[in-house]
Chains A and B, each alone.
Chain A
Amino acid sequence: MKKYVFMASVAMLFIVSCKKDVNDTSDESELVPLSVEFDNIVGGQNLFLNTVTYTNGAGEDFNVSMFQYFISNISLRRADGTEYVVNQDSSYFLIRESDAATRFARVKVPEGDYRQLSFILGVDSLRSTMDITKRTGVLDPSGGMEDGMYWGWNSGYIFVKFEGISPSAPVDPSGQRKFRYHIGGFGGYSAPTINNIKKITIDLSASGIARPRKGRNANIHLMVDLLKIFNNSNNLSIATNPTVMFSDFSTNIANNYTAMFYHDHTEN
C-alpha cells in the first residue's frame, strides 16, 4: 500500500513537473515544421572531409575523415518564458558530415515566436538505459566499429565521433597517423561514472527569432565550429592525446565542444 502511495506521488510529481514545462496542449495536427540546421565549419572555413588541411590552436595540421554527433531533446522557449518540448520519441538526430541530408534536425512545433533553442549534444541517460525496442532509427545500436555510434562492451552511445589524419599523430598499428576522439558516457547504470551529456542553450534574439507558421518551413541555421574541440577551456593537442575514448580525459573534450555551436541566422 505504502509503495503504491509512493508511486502515485512520484507519478503526480511527474505530471506536475511536465505540466510546468509543456504548457502547450496543442494537438498533433496543429503542429508546423521547424528545422535546425547544423552547418559544420572549421574556424572561418567550411568543413570538407579528407581533402583540406586545417590547423588547430596548438599549430598542428590535420584533416577530418569523420565528424558526427547526436542531437536530441530539442526544446524552444518563447519571449514570455513558456517552453515547448518536442515529443521525445521524435527528438533524436544523428548529424553526419558524410551525409549532407542529415544536417537538418526536423521537428514539429506549435506556431509561435521562439527566442531560445535548447538541445542535448548526446543521448540522455534515460534513453541510454531503455529497452532495446525503444532504440529505433538513429538509436539502433546496429552500427559497426567504423561508423557506429554505440559501445557494445560498455553499453552506451558515443555522442561525438571525430577522426582524422595529422602529421602530429603517432603512427598507429594500422600504419596511419590517425587521431580518434570518441566521446560518450551517460553517467553509468549501476555505478556512477563520467557524464558527458551536454545541454546546449542558444539565444536566437540577436540573429533572428524563429517564427514557424503553417505552410512554411522555418529553419534555424547554426554553425558548428569543430576547432572549438581543440581550444576552449582546455587545450587539446593531437600529439599528446591522439586517441581519446572512454576515459576521464574525455570530459575535457566534452567541456570544450559545448562551445562549438553558434546561431548564424534564421530563415522563416
Chain B
Amino acid sequence: MSKRFWLFSVGFIILVSCSKDIVDQFEGFRKPSHFPEPSYALNNNPITKEGFELGRKLFYEPRLSRNNTISCGSCHIQSSAFTQHGHDVSHGIDDRLGKRNSPPIMNLAWSPSFMWDGGVFDLDLQPIAPITAHEEMDESVANVLQKLKAHPDYPKLFKKAFGSEEITTARMMKALSQFMILCVSANAKYDRVKQGKEIFTADEQAGYTVFQQKCSNCHAEPLLTDFSFRNNGIAIGTNNDEGRYLVTLNPADKYKFKVPSLRNLSYTAPYMHDGRFYTLDAVIDHYRSRVQNTPNLDPSLQPGQGIAISDDEKTKLIAFLKTLDDKDFITNRLLSEQ
C-alpha cells in the first residue's frame, strides 16, 4: 500500500514536472498545415532553442545602434504586430525619420525578398540594412560585434547557441534569423476556418467572397500577399520615392512597392509604404475611387475607377479583414522581450 502510494506520488511529481516542461517546451519551426513550404534555407541555419533565444535577445538589444538607444524592437513592436504603430515613416536614432513605414516581422520564412523594394534577398543579410542606415541605427556591424564581445553575457550565449564563444557577423545574423523565422502568424480566425476548426459569420463569409473576387489577385492566400512588386495607384509621394526602381534600375519598376500581407491589419496602421492612410476605410476608398494614373500603374487597376466595391461590400470586406487579426501572435510571450 505504502509502496503504491509512493509510486503514485512519484508519478504525480513526474506529471507535474512534465506539464511544466510542456509549457516551456521549445517546438522550433513548424510549418502551419495550410501554408506552403518556406523559402528560407532552413538547412543552412538549423533552429535551436539556444539560437532562437540569442536571436531574441539581439532583436531587443539597443547595443545594435550607435548610441545604444534603438533596438530592432523599437520600430518593430510586438503589440503592433512588429510594426511601429502610429508612425507613418520609421522613427530611428536621434529622432531621425526614415522614408518608409516599418514593415512587420511576420512570416518572413516565406518571403523571397525583404524591404518595400525587395533590395535584400536573404533574411540573413537583412539586419545589416537597419544597423548601418543613417536614420535607423547608424552603426557598423563591426562595432556591434565589439560591443557584444565586451558584454558579460553574450560570449556565453553564443557558446550555448553555436558551440564556442566566437562572435562573428554570420553567427549574429543566423541567430537574428532564427528569432525572426519563428515570428509566425498563423492563428487568426481565418486560419482556424481554413483548418476546419471554426466557421465565418455570414458577414465575414460575404466579405471573404468580395476579397476573393477583388483583392486576392495580389493579396494571395494564405499569406495574403503574392510578394510581387506593384504600383497600386497611390499618388507619387512628396519625396518621389521610386520604390523597386532603386534596386533594379529598370524604368518599368518605377513606383512599384512590395504587396504587403493583409494579416494583422487592426494592429499595423498606418498603411502603405509611407504610412499615408491611417484607416482601413481610407485604404478601401483609395481602391474604390482614387487610383491615380502614375507610371507603371498595375494593369489590374483602372485610373479613377479603381475596384468597384459597394458600401455594403466594404462593410463585409472589413468584417473579413478583421478575421486576419492574430491575437496570439501579438501576445505570444515567446516573442516578447524577456
- The interface of chain A, by Cβ under 8 A from chain B, is 129, 131-133, 135-136, 140-145, 148, 150, 152-155, 188-194, 246-248
Contacts and interface: CB of A to CB of B under 8 A. Distances in A.
B113 interface: yes
A246 B57 CA distance: 34
Contacts of A189: 121
Contact of A141 (B125, B130, B250): B125
A213 B275 CA distance: 65
Interface of B: 41, 44, 112-113, 115, 118-122, 124-125, 128-134, 139-143, 145, 168-170, 173-174, 246-250, 253
Given A145-B134, A152-B130, A155-B119, 11 more contacts: A133-B174, A141-B125, A141-B128, A142-B140, A142-B141, A152-B128, A153-B119, A190-B113, A191-B248, A193-B249, A193-B250
B133 A131 contact: no
Chain B binding surface SS class:
helix
29 contacts: A131-B41, A131-B124, A132-B122, A132-B169, A132-B170, A132-B173, A133-B44, A135-B170, A140-B169, A141-B141, A142-B169, A144-B140, A145-B134, A145-B140, A152-B128, A152-B130, A152-B132, A153-B133, A154-B119, A154-B120, A155-B121, A188-B248, A190-B112, A190-B121, A191-B250, A191-B253, A192-B248, A194-B249, A248-B249
A247 to B, nearest CB: 7
A129 B249 contact: no
Contacts of B249: 193-194, 246-248
A143 B118 contact: no
A143 B44 CA distance: 23
B169 A152 contact: no
Nearest to B177: A132
Nearest to A188: B248
Given A141-B141, A144-B143, A190-B121, A132 B174 contact: yes
B226 to A, nearest CB: 14
A150 B128 contact: yes
Contacts of A248: 249
B257 to A, nearest CB: 14
B179 to A, nearest CB: 15
B129 A141 contact: no
Contacts of A154: 119-120, 246-247
B124 A148 contact: no
B96 to A, nearest CB: 13
B93 to A, nearest CB: 13
Nearest to B227: A190
Contact of A152 (B125, B168, B174, B247): B125
